[in-house]
Homo-oligomer: A and B are copies of this chain.
Amino acid sequence: MSIANGEGIEPMDYTRSCGGAAIGARLRRLSESIDGDTMRAYAALGVQFEQRWFGVLNQLALNGPATVGELASTLRITHVSVSQTRNSLEKAGIVVSEADPSDARRRRLMLTDAGLALIERLQPLWRTCEKVALELTAEAGDLMAALDRLDDALTRRTMFERLMSGTTLLDDLDPTPQGRTG
């Protein structure tokens, strides 16, 4: 808490110095960097593409038509996000949807010919992504496996549970109820 020098020395990376409370920020920064560069690659190839399209397109290509809810569940994002992505994909003519005849609540998405062509066209870039991912995994030493394990760890016990569990937090926490500013 001591107020030290205001300039001069500068830690090489704040997320490295204070890992714990900033790990979310760090992952976010990495994802934005990678997503941004990938988008730039699409643009550089003259292909109009949105990052968020990938999951849905890939699933439709692999497994055929699917509903909003099915895609959300497979992609592990909310149905809202899928719904918005669907909207964008339809506007771009890459996907069409129709009400499921057996249940009018459901909306079945399927690729258009333009969608199939787009996927075909992007295959090389996506294969390159795979290669780069391998390259990075090599350089970063087992990154993907570490992410797998992080996913697993958080599935076993969420961040929230970990933060709130007595052993780590409540022992330490000063119980004066002075908080709640707003």
Residues of A within 8 A of B (CB): 1, 3-7, 9-11, 13-16, 18-35, 37-38, 40-41, 44-48, 51-52, 54-55, 58-59, 61-66, 70, 73-77, 92-93, 114, 116-121, 124-136, 139-154, 156, 158-160, 162-164, 168-169, 172-174, 177-182
Please tell me which one of the listed residues B22, B31, B139 contacts residue A27 in the complex, with CB atoms under 8 A apart: B31
Interface centre among A24, A168, A179 (most CB of B within 10 A): A24
Taking the nearest CB of chain B, how far is it from the CB of A120, in angstroms? 7
By the criterion CB–CB under 8 Å, are B159 and A63 in contact? no
Q: Contacts A120-B1, A130-B20 given: A10-B73 contact, CB under 8 Å? A: yes
Q: Contacts A51-B25, A121-B178 given: A5-B63 contact, CB under 8 Å? A: yes
By the criterion CB–CB under 8 Å, are B6 and A179 in contact? no
Taking the nearest CB of chain B, how far is it from the CB of A21, in angstroms? 4
Contacts of A47 in B (CB 8 A): 179-181
By the criterion CB–CB under 8 Å, are B30 and A121 in contact? no
Please tell me which one of the listed residues B19, B119, B146, B174 contacts residue A1 in the complex, with CB atoms under 8 A apart: B119
Contacts of A64 in B (CB 8 A): 3-6
Contacts of A116 in B (CB 8 A): 1
